[in-house]
Amino acid sequence: MNFDSIDYLQHGNSRQQHAYAILTNNRIIAKLNQFDPILAGTIPLHIDIENSDLDIICCFQDKQEFQKTITNNFSEEKSFTIKEKTTSGLEAIIATFVVDDFKIEIFGQNIPTKQQLAYRHLVIEHRLLNKHGDTFRQQIIELKRQGYKTEPAFAIALNLTGDPYTELLKLDTNDYYPNR
């Protein structure tokens, strides 16, 4: 699966197609293009629930330029907020807003998008969903409906102990995926 482009959403379920329309019609990804945006989270994996948002991760070199780009392009959107936060010891800029019926979160760090935890989890979760099939997918969705975040839901379904975010990363090995 190539998550570099959102084109795959065009051929997905109705919610994925709707997300594609919102992101393309409003040029959201295009406005972030210089920051190597990737759509992460549950919608690309078809494990979203009714209130799932669109999570876009980005890489910035210049924090102020990133903030300015986000503010210039999205500050007029409904419920717009932007804040700085330290995540995993790294500065992050997080903006949220609503377009149509989707909450959108833009998350930027000074680390390449494919090295960010959200992307790494996305790839691992995609492999797990493919490996374990639709019953597993439905189990994840049900756990999410019960209020669990995505990574804890995977940890429960896989009987992982410890921090679910760290434990999932441990599954990204050639030993676990011998056919990779």
Query: How far apart, in whole angstroms, are the C-alpha atoms of residue 28 and residue 141?
Result: 27
Domain range annotation of the chain: 6-112, 119-170
The pLDDT score that the predictor gives to residue 90 is: 85
pLDDT digits (tens, 9 = 90+) for 100-132: 989 999 999 999 999 999 999 999 999 999 999
CATH topology classification for 6-112: Beta Polymerase; domain 2 (3.30.460)
Q: How many residues does the chain have?
A: 180
Q: What is the DSSP string of 13-81?
A: -HHHHHHHHHHHHTTHHHHTGGG--EEESSTTTT---TT--EEEEEE-S-HHHHHHHHHHHHTTSEEEE
Low-confidence ranges of the chain (pLDDT < 70): 173-180
Return the pLDDT at 70: 98
Closest Cα partner for 41 from 145, 146, 152, 119? 119
- pLDDT for residue 160: 93
Q: Tell me the C-alpha distance between 32 and 28, whole Å.
A: 7
